């Protein structure tokens, strides 16, 4: 994969080190995945504890694999989770807990965490993919993705 055309345009300061951000997101509890109960080929995976997120307000995880950073947030009294890769050009989006919205530092697209990731403003052609989660015995279980994750032709690789 060649780098974006002009390095004279390797431009936006905020974008610097973005690949590192994507890679650095920890694969929380990755071992606790299940081959059972999958949905359209997605594996169910325990990604965290509901009790913890209720206190912290947000939690990073990876789903459906280690290369796909995601964040779960408390909004409207429930846990919602989204991909952290902007659907415009793949920069890591940042969560604003006050606004309950994600903002991309590269080209300023914003997505509403309270409205299924709807783009508030910006240059993406898609809303941010929602990671479908359910709670069982305090465990947050990811079981699917609604929307194509940036940088993939298929959410499930291979």
Annotate 11-71 with DSSP letters as a single string: --GGGTTHHHHHHHS--TTGGGEEEEEEETTEEEEEEEEHHHHHHHSEEEEE-SSTT-EEE
Q: Using CB under 8 A, which of 28, 50, 53, 124 touches another protein? A: 124
Per rule CB under 8 A, is residue 91 in the interface with another protein?
yes
Q: Which of 29, 75, 108, 139 binds another protein (CB under 8 A)?
A: 108
Long-range residue pairs from 95-104, CB within 8 A, at least 24 positions apart, any chain: 95/58, 95/71, 97/57, 97/58, 97/73, 100/73, 100/75, 102/71, 102/128
Binders of another protein among 14-53, rule CB under 8 A? 15, 18-19, 22, 39-40
Task: Mark whether 88 is an active-site residue.
Answer: yes
Among residues 100, 107, 139, 152, the one annotated as catalytic is 107
List residues near another protein by CB under 8 A: 1-6, 8-9, 11-13, 15, 18-19, 22, 39-40, 67-68, 85-92, 99-101, 106-108, 110, 112, 114-115, 118-127, 129, 132, 144-158
């Amino acid at each position: 994969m060649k780098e974006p055309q002009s390095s004279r345009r390797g431009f936006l300061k905020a974008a610097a080190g973005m690949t590192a951000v994507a890679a650095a997101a920890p694969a929380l509890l990755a071992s606790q995945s299940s081959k059972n109960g999958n949905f359209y080929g997605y594996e169910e995976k325990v990604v965290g504890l509901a009790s913890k997120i209720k206190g912290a307000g947000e939690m990073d995880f990876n789903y459906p694999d280690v290369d796909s950073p995601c964040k779960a947030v408390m909004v409207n009294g429930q846990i919602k989770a989204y991909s952290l890769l902007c659907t415009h050009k793949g920069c890591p989006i940042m969560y604003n807990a006050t606004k309950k919205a994600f903002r991309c530092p590269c080209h300023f697209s914003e997505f509403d965490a309270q409205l299924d990731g709807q783009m508030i403003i910006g240059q993406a052609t898609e809303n941010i993919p929602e990671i479908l989660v359910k709670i069982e015995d305090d465990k947050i279980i990811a079981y699917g993705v609604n929307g194509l994750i940036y940088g993939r032709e298929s959410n499930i690789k291979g």
